[in-house]
Amino acid sequence: MGIWQGDIKRETNIPDSLMKKSIKMLLTKTLIKEVVNIQNKSKKVLMAVEFEPSKEITGGEWYTEGKLDTQLIEALSDVCMKLILRQKVATREGILDWIRKVGSEIFPGGVSAGQVEQILKVLVMENKVQEVNSTGFGDFASVPVGEVCYRLAKKTGGEVKVGAMASIPCGVCPRINACTPDGDISPINCQYYQKWLDF
């Protein structure tokens, strides 16, 4: 894991000046490195250069040098949204493949499947995209049946809700006030009503 300077001082009883001098020498020879602990930024942990710090210390993939990388989060969110908008329906693997092929200039360090999945979950929670299973038809034709995919959410935050009258032609007809059973405009001679009945 690593060790904090205060722990070194307490365990070894070395004078403070000698300890700082020794640490500085080890750092310049690149035998050890300082890692910022996200839980306590003033406590820098020292560890050998060949070791990778744990996620508990660094904060994981979303942190760079102990700070939350908001630019990466925003850029990845934007790419996911734009790709879903362009393709209408996208899978996590499809987004990840596109980033690996085309998005290397946007993400020079690359992104992991876990990062893409986390961003997609956030977008679902924010009602920006919907997580759905592919039917294999229409917009889903390019995605195997049953596979989890993502599409843009409606502005209402889900499927559009319509009233009972909106599903029949009379419910949306602008001439409904002039419609009478025996008049010029009537259900008997309405072409829209006939098409609806033939359906």
Residues 81 and 13 in one domain: no
Final residue of a domain: which of 64, 88, 112?
A: 64
Within-domain flag for 159: no
Q: Measuring CA to CA, how many Å separate 165 from each of 131, 142, 176, 178?
A: 29, 35, 12, 17
Structural domain including 194 reads 164-198
Whether residue 157 is contained in a domain is answered as no
* Same domain? 97 vs 148: yes
Q: H or E stretch including 118?
A: helix 113-125
Q: Are both 92 and 60 inside the same structural domain?
A: no
Task: Give the alpha-carbon dihedral of 162, 164, 168, 173, to 10 degrees.
Answer: -70
Domain identity same for 60 and 75: no
- pLDDT the model gives residue 196: 72
Average pLDDT of the segment spanning 5-19: 88
Q: What is the CATH number of the domain that holds 56?
A: 1.10.10.10
Per-residue pLDDT of 95-146, as tens digits, reads: 888 888 877 677 777 788 888 899 999 999 999 999 888 887 888 888 888 8
Q: Supply the pTM of this predicted model.
A: 0.56
- Tokens in use for 149? 């995919």
Question: Model confidence over 40-98: pLDDT tens digits?
Answer: 777 888 989 898 877 777 777 777 766 778 888 898 999 899 999 988 899 999 988 88
Residues 91 and 20 in one domain: no
Residues 188 and 180: their CA atoms lie apart, in Å, by 10
Domain total for the chain?
Answer: 3
